[in-house]
Amino acid sequence: MIRALEPRDRDHWQALYRGYQAFYGHDRAPEFYDKAFARLMSGDARDFQGLVYDDGGLLGLVHYVFHPNLWRDEGVCYLQDLFTSDQARGRGVGRALIRGVYDAADAAGVPNVYWLTAEDNYAGRMLYDRVGQKSPFIRYNRPL
């Protein structure tokens, strides 16, 4: 049910990713999705990869990237985007997608996977506390 994102997923993927962007308050132009999909399909191992939960229709997506870490030769895996459709809620789709990233990370020899989430993303954290481990680390940004 978890499989790599493919070119034929374009429309369903965009519908899901638009929902994710809306969750964070973003209304993106079509070009945003064009670029993101092109990158996900580029085959560049240093750029983002996508997985989907396919149950006949697409119920969820996850995007991740490997990037260097000075403490670890093999680098780390950053899970940036995770989203499931409303009808997928409570069916283990989010959990399966995260585990899909764990498997992909293992296959790449990069076992360390991390993600960031808003402190008040309660629904997300209910899942993350089961499948991941909260760290004491918080994010600071350059003010722009």
Among 10, 69, 95, 108, binds its own copies (CB under 8 A): 69
Q: At what angle do helices 122-131 and 93-107 cross, to 10 degrees?
A: 50
Which 3 state secondary structure label does DSSP give 130?
helix
> 88: which DSSP letter?
G
| Contact pattern for its own copies over residues 86 through 105, marking x by CB under 8 A | ----------------x--x
Which 3 state secondary structure label does DSSP give 17?
helix
Among 7, 70, 86, 107, binds its own copies (CB under 8 A): 70
Choice between 31 and 56, CB closer to its own copies: 31
What sign for the dihedral angle of Cα 98, 102, 108, 112? positive
Residues 10-49 that bind its own copies (CB under 8 A): 35-36, 39-40, 46-48
When asked if residue 138 is in the footprint of its own copies (CB under 8 A), the reply is yes
